[in-house]
Structure 1
Amino acid sequence: MDGYLTRRPHEQLRAQVRSFITEEIRPRLPLKGVDARTDATLIRRMARKGWVGLTIPKAYGGRGQGHVAKLIVTHELARVSPGLAAELQACQLGLAGLLNLGSEQLKQTWLPRIARGEVLPTITVTGRDSGSHIKGITATARKDGDEWIINGGKAWIGASHVADVHCVVLRTSEGTGDNCLTAFLVEAEREGVRLLPHQESVALQGFSFGEVHFDDCRIPDIHRIGEVGEGEAVASSSSILYGRLNLGGVALGILEAILDTVVEHTTQRSLYGKPLIKHPVVNDQVGEIQANVTSARMLAYLAAHLLDRGEEADTELLTAKYKIAEKAVASATLAMEISGAYALFPDESPIAQLLLDAHAMRPPAGTPGIQRLRLGQQAAGLAKGVPWSRRFASPRHSGVLERLTGD
């Protein structure tokens, strides 16, 4: 089964993605080296197909297909290239704040261009000195008349070296209160924006995640996203409503790639006169990986479906990102055990790379510890504020659960 809670248009989209993978991506694999991480060719081709703007309403030129459609694209890409899937989802994440809190002028200016694939956005939040601690951000924006002057650095930014515009969250007042941060839209080519040379990393081949610096960069006040002091809302809503499901989708694709690799290895390699899969210990381990894949699919697609229905889904989004990433790591570890020495050589097996990719899914959009903390708070009724999925509810789609006949 390919997915859950999908309709005919969703499966048509899945077929389109698989065709693109066959024709455009597989011939270019493996995507290795810094040059592969900074090459925007494939991500721009995907953007021109409308895959970055899947959740942009049709009124702004988007496809308006919702979060299930977005999950399908991310999930399918990650089965063959977790790095490219991470790149695409980072661009999708970059438009979330604009959709949720952007002014009508900003939406009319930028959303149609993003929907057509002319502009690649990304979100620029984390810094070397603060990591995922949002209120620890030190990069600043200072008001100067009708402009803002930006200074400081941002690190580990997804799609950093291919993005055309950044949704940047900056400190606009001292302290750690609820109103100390503000978000802005900043063009990558604007004077005062500087990219540091991209460094190679061990995980997510083909994914650019580098550093962006701002040196007395001036932007007009009309580029502000939301009100002054709403930067945390931009970052948090983007992470919770887009980032967690996106990363869960990447982890799901990694999980399925692990299962495919293990099944191929255990059915083709024999030991003591019979295929590995027929040894009870190995069969048990493969069964555990299959169970992880099945439950991960249900978690991801249910969360996406609830978002498309306009239902409250914060808990499901937290759970999906947390548990799917953990299942991917656990399954890759089992696969290492099953594969033995084969897994130690990249030319023999992709399992070691998939293990690294799975681990890379754990820290962003909240580490496992942070996810458990939030889930515990929700269980005890201690979560603060209105759930993000209720505050920024998606327009309701008819949904599979309501459908009685036809598509």
Structure 2
Amino acid sequence: MTDEHNQLREAIRDLCAKQIAPHAADVDQSPRYPREAVTALQAAGFAALHIPQEYGGEGADAVSQAIVIEEVARVCATSSMLPIGNKLATTGLLLRGSEELKKQVLPSIAAGEAMASYALTEREAGSDAAAMRTRAVPDGDGWVLNGTKCFITNGGESTWYTVMAVTDPDKGANGISAFIVHRDDAGFTVGPKERKMGLRGSPTTELYFENCRIPGDRIIGEPGTGFKTALATLDITRPAVGAQAVVIAQGALDAAVAYTKERNQFGKAIADFQNTQFMLADMAMKVEAARLMVYEAAMAAERGDARLSFLASASKCFASDVAMQVTTDAVQLFGGYGYTTDFPVERFMRDAKITQIYEGTNQVQRMVMARALLK
């Protein structure tokens, strides 16, 4: 870590403690959108650190981006979906989009005036994303989209949506293209919110495209390159999910350490029992290992490392498995109190679960890693 990284961590931790943490429980229990967090992160320039300076962003390195996600998720995983969602939705545009399209979309996100969402998944095309049915056909100087997307993070709150659609059904994955849709485009509507186990304040919706017409210049890259763009995007963004998972685990560990030092049984603090100490030691060891793996993957993305695909999947997979195990152990250490909403560990446990599922299930991550090893 450089001095700049440490200063960034101090700044974002202070912001989170004052403006995000006090609302985290209410955001989860209501549930409601974390307006306070959105306002604070956008005002401080932390909502989209990845956007290059030429488009009004900070152009921060990948580790800095991970630090911001860590510190936000440490107090409220729901609120960390803002920088995660913005990065996921705009990485493909940065990789393959035209200069004109970048200038049209990115400055408003960098300025905190807009947000972005990523629309890949469909009801019958989850892990098998190439089986999507949403279609885009050329129409004069534009495109017309028809279909439905699901499980869209920040659906209804975002201004811009990166949407994958089939443009040539005879070419399979090579017939998929990527587009940018604006929330005001005719024929585009947002469905109702899903009721979820975790990340309850982060809206997750369906998107509907009914003869949705968009300008021709809103395609990302050439027709038929969308699926490759999606895969390249996920290699870059999966470490961000790993960072989120790491600090959900860290938050649970911190709470468990504090609680076990205060909770007395059999005449002494339960932290004084060796079985408790061994649980805490194992939890901390796994969290530190996961964090280092996430940083390594983040820097691999920064360097354009040939091992990126493996490292991205490994960091996301390992960190999210650690998050699920550590949060479950934290609930156990709290005993019956851990199962109540009086303490945050039950929320950490619920929030941790999704990190094993989205941006590719951990079973898919293992397939990616195996393919990289056997290549």
Shorter-chain-normalised TM-score: which range? Answer: over 0.9
Please point out which of 241, 244, 255 is paired with 1:247: 241
Summarize the alignment of residues 169-318 of structure 1 with structure 2, pairs less than 5 Å apart.
169-175=164-170, 177-242=172-237, 244-312=238-306, 313-318=308-313
Cα distance change, pair 44–120 in 1 and its aligned pair in 2 (3 A): farther
Summarize the alignment of residues 6-405 of structure 1 with structure 2, pairs less than 5 Å apart.
6-30=1-25, 31-32=27-28, 36-37=32-33, 40-175=35-170, 177-242=172-237, 244-312=238-306, 313-347=308-342, 349-381=343-375
> Unaligned regions of 5+ residues in structure 2, if any?
none
CA distance in structure 2 between the aligned counterparts of 1:245 and 1:287, rounded to whole angstroms: 24
Q: What is the DSSP-based 3-state SS (H/G/I as helix, E as strand, rest coil) of the residue aligned with 2:207?
A: strand
Deviates more, 1:141-150 or 1:53-62: 53-62
CA distance in structure 1 between the aligned counterparts of 2:252 and 2:264, rounded to whole angstroms: 19
1:252 Cα shift? 0.8
Q: Which runs of 4+ in 1 moved over 3 A?
A: 32-35
Q: Percent identity?
A: 28
Aligned to 1:388: none
Cα distance change, pair 28–351 in 1 and its aligned pair in 2 (3 A): closer
CA distance in structure 2 between the aligned counterparts of 1:40 and 1:278, rounded to whole angstroms: 41
The one-letter code matched in structure 1 to 2:138 is K
**1:256-285 alpha-carbon deviations (Å, 9 max, x no partner):** 011011101110001111111111111111
Deviates more, 1:86-95 or 1:286-295: 86-95
**1:131-184 alpha-carbon deviations (Å, 9 max, x no partner):** 232211111111111111111111101111211010100111214623211111
On the 8 A contact 1:343/1:352 being kept in 2, the answer is yes
CA distance in structure 1 between the aligned counterparts of 2:36 and 2:259, rounded to whole angstroms: 33
Q: CA RMSD in A?
A: 1.6
Q: TM-score, normalised by structure 2?
A: 0.95
**1:163-213 alpha-carbon deviations (Å, 9 max, x no partner):** 101010011121462321111110012111111122331201321221111
CA distance in structure 2 between the aligned counterparts of 1:161 and 1:46, rounded to whole angstroms: 19
The one-letter code matched in structure 2 to 1:307 is A
1:250 Cα shift? 0.8
Q: How many residues align?
A: 373
Q: TM-score, normalised by structure 1?
A: 0.88
On the 8 A contact 1:265/1:339 being kept in 2, the answer is yes
Cα distance change, pair 126–108 in 1 and its aligned pair in 2 (3 A): same
Q: What is the DSSP-based 3-state SS (H/G/I as helix, E as strand, rest coil) of the residue aligned with 2:242?
A: helix
On the 8 A contact 1:47/1:120 being kept in 2, the answer is no
1:309 Cα shift? 3.0
1:126 Cα shift? 0.6
The one-letter code matched in structure 1 to 2:275 is V
1:56 Cα shift? 1.9
Cα distance change, pair 216–35 in 1 and its aligned pair in 2 (3 A): farther
1:318 Cα shift? 1.1
1:350 Cα shift? 2.0
**1:362-402 alpha-carbon deviations (Å, 9 max, x no partner):** 11121111111111121222xxxxxxxxxxxxxxxxxxxxx
Q: What is the DSSP-based 3-state SS (H/G/I as helix, E as strand, rest coil) of the residue aligned with 1:32?
A: helix
Q: What is the DSSP-based 3-state SS (H/G/I as helix, E as strand, rest coil) of the residue aligned with 2:58?
A: coil
Cα distance change, pair 212–323 in 1 and its aligned pair in 2 (3 A): same
The one-letter code matched in structure 2 to 1:139 is T
CA distance in structure 2 between the aligned counterparts of 1:58 and 1:220, rounded to whole angstroms: 26
Deviates more, 1:219-228 or 1:304-313: 304-313
1:344 Cα shift? 1.5
Cα distance change, pair 132–230 in 1 and its aligned pair in 2 (3 A): same
Q: What is the DSSP-based 3-state SS (H/G/I as helix, E as strand, rest coil) of the residue aligned with 2:192?
A: coil
On the 8 A contact 1:53/1:62 being kept in 2, the answer is yes
The one-letter code matched in structure 2 to 1:81 is C
